[in-house]
Structure 1
């Protein structure tokens, strides 16, 4: 079992997230998996494992779990490509890396991924329901956010998946997710990605767990919390070969 220590990946911000107690309460969706319900946020959609080379990231995950992720395709204009594997119903792992075929990008992510010396968690996504409702709730609460913003990915077979995202301006030093809503005509990636893995645990580590707990509770993002000198995401994924223990 390999544990990857945190290295700086996200910029530290000081803004406070203030959301009314009722925010998102009507949008919460209960997950059908995993058996250890309290170990994984119910609204978790996917976690992102960043690496500087996609094949290296795929091999890294396969080495520890015995499951090989399948190529997911490229993000046009974003400068990245990915590979995916299912972690259960409506839950998956995205291995994301720079796309060498895209020479320019509207995102800073490819440059950050190139600097990684080893694979590590770089974020997570939650599915709250209708993003238009979410965006309106955030605006009324005075919470700075961007979106809904359309996104897409061209798959190896030529088909294109579509989604929308909302991103909080203050993500609590990378601890809070971005929010995603998949287009009705796009299959959820967990449905046709390689299976055999399960997300056993996903937790948020923080120097001030109590303050972070207030933020995630107000957003209906229940998640395991633990104290740590630095903000950090931590996940444990199981496969038939063993477990992958990875962090940001």
Structure 2
């Protein structure tokens, strides 16, 4: 399992974009629409084939069923809500309510693990899993931004159990777990203007 990207939810895409660009001091790149879940996004390439995603409901979309990333229940200011990993054995990684959903955006095609009610696995404590069906996923295709992930911390009441479950599957020293409540994700990003915490 490999860390693929981090997702920031926002009530509107413009609000999330302005918030992240102001924090990091860099401009996001165009993303696209996800008709199946009624969302749209903008992206930012990070070092090491990672990227950041700002995602929000698309007001022009008609969607039947819940949106993914728990966006139907999201409110408040933009914030980091989800971490997404690419799993070598995608089917085996579909845990904590995730089901296999084939996805497409333009020429991009991938398989995503999404709980039926659109929620996040263990409230965001367990990574959402995907498998890219392309040789050039966004992490490899996006232009360099001068930003890099230094550390991702998952604060969760079941931190020890989640860490144990991922042992042997996810080996990334930047990902750490801490016991606590409420659930919270925190990312430290090195930027051209210095270290920023999301």
Fold shared per TM-score above 0.5 = yes
SS in 2 for 1:101: coil
Change (3 A) 1:221 1:175: farther
Q: In terms of Rg, which structure is larger?
A: 1
User: Whose RCO is larger (CA < 8 A, sep 6+)?
Assistant: 1
2:140 pairs with one of 186, 191, 208: 191
**Structure 2 segments unaligned to the other structure (5+ residues):** none
Alpha-carbon separation, structure 2, partners of 1:193 and 1:55? 20
Q: Is the 8 A contact 1:203 1:235 kept in 2?
A: yes
What is the TM-score of this pair, normalised by structure 1?
A: 0.67
Query: 1:95 maps to which residue?
Result: 54
1:174 Cα shift?
Answer: 1.8
> Which residues in structure 2 correspond to 1:224-235 (within 5 Å)?
224-235=176-187
Q: Is the 8 A contact 1:64 1:242 kept in 2?
A: no
Query: 1:47 maps to which residue?
Result: 6
Alpha-carbon separation, structure 1, partners of 2:102 and 2:163? 29
Alpha-carbon separation, structure 2, partners of 1:111 and 1:232? 14
SS in 1 for 2:123: coil
1:227 Cα shift?
Answer: 2.6
SS in 1 for 2:166: helix
Query: 2:20 maps to which residue?
Result: 61
Query: 1:238 maps to which residue?
Result: 190
1:44 Cα shift?
Answer: 0.6
Alpha-carbon separation, structure 2, partners of 1:93 and 1:143? 24
**Structure 1 segments unaligned to the other structure (5+ residues):** 1-27, 29-42, 155-159
The size of the alignment, in residue pairs, is 192
Q: Is the 8 A contact 2:98 2:121 kept in 1?
A: no
RMSD: 2.8
- Determine which structure has the larger strand proportion and give its number: 2
Q: Is the 8 A contact 2:49 2:139 kept in 1?
A: yes
1:204 pairs with one of 140, 154, 161: 154
**Which stretch shifts more, 47-56 or 101-110?**
101-110
1:3-45 per-residue CA deviation (whole Å, 9 max, x = no partner) reads xxxxxxxxxxxxxxxxxxxxxxxxx5xxxxxxxxxxxxxx110
